[in-house]
Amino acid sequence: MDEIANGVEKKIKVNRLVHADGVTFKTCATCQGSGQMRKVVNTMLGQMVSSSTCSTCSGSGQIIDKRPSGVDSSGLVSKEDIISIKVPAGVSDGMQLSMSGRGNEAPGGGVSGDLLILIEEKEDKKLKRDGNNLIYDLHISFIDAALGTSEEVPSIGGKVRIKIEPGTQSGKILRLRGKGIKDINGYGTGDQLIYVNVWTPKKLTSEEKAKLESLRSSANFIPNPTSDDKGFFERMKEYFS
């Protein structure tokens, strides 16, 4: 995720076809080097001329004159290359990068093919990606939610300490502006969104039960949502519209 967010330079191993040493070429005798075959047919309406790719040289106009043993009839051998590629920030799964002329060399010395690099995104266990935004699920105790605290959360480029205000509701979304992924087309940078989940204890000792029981009827513990306490659908509308 760090590499996607910031861009990265990678070295990759590629097996590509290159011209073998010691191979020499000569002009194709079939087409005299034009790569094209002209065919003249006599018909009732006169002569018709059609042209097609030369089948002897496949259109390159050149054929192999001499080749060392072990080199196939195309004059090419497979060679391992280490290629350095610059992956721009903001790439996503299924995207294809293209390096012009870094593919296989053409038989007979034409234009080399391109190297196509398919991007596969490795999922981050903590930071989920939603477009250019990153989403982090934070769980806090209801004591921390009520009293307020500060929490360290993972983020691009290292951990960030965030403040949890006293009286934070479960489902609140905190936004770290510009802490997401840079847009591949240069349209700004996404945000990191932190979903606050308030953790309710599943087991209590009898002592803990007694303490909480004494607070049960306290007016402050009775839910009393106001218009500021947005429900789930309103929050979604706010963050994804």
- Decide: is 31 part of the binding site for Zn ion (CB under 5 A): yes
Q: Which of 4, 17, 23, 28: binder of Zn ion (CB under 5 A)?
A: 28
Residue 115 CB: number of other CB atoms within 10 A? 19
Q: Report residue 212 as tokens.
A: 């909480």
- Decide: is 57 part of the binding site for Zn ion (CB under 5 A): yes
CB of 105 to Zn ion, least distance (A): 19
Residue 24's contacts (CB-CB under 8 Å, 6 or more residues apart) are 64, 65, 66, 67
Q: Which is nearer to Zn ion, 74 or 168 (CB)?
A: 74
- Whether the Cβ atoms of residue 86 and residue 74 lie closer than 8 Å to each other: no
Burial 132-159 (b: 16+ CB within 10 A, else e): bbbbbebebeeebbeeebebebebbeee
By CB under 5 A, how many residues form the interface with Zn ion? 6
Distance CA 183, CA 190 (A): 7
- Whether the Cβ atoms of residue 127 and residue 1 lie closer than 8 Å to each other: yes
Q: Which is nearer to Zn ion, 29 or 236 (CB)?
A: 29
Q: Which is nearer to Zn ion, 108 or 190 (CB)?
A: 108
- Decide: is 64 part of the binding site for Zn ion (CB under 5 A): no
CB of 111 to Zn ion, least distance (A): 17
Q: Which of 54, 145, 153, 162: binder of Zn ion (CB under 5 A)?
A: 54
- Decide: is 56 part of the binding site for Zn ion (CB under 5 A): yes
Contacts with Zn ion by CB under 5 A lie at 28, 30-31, 54, 56-57
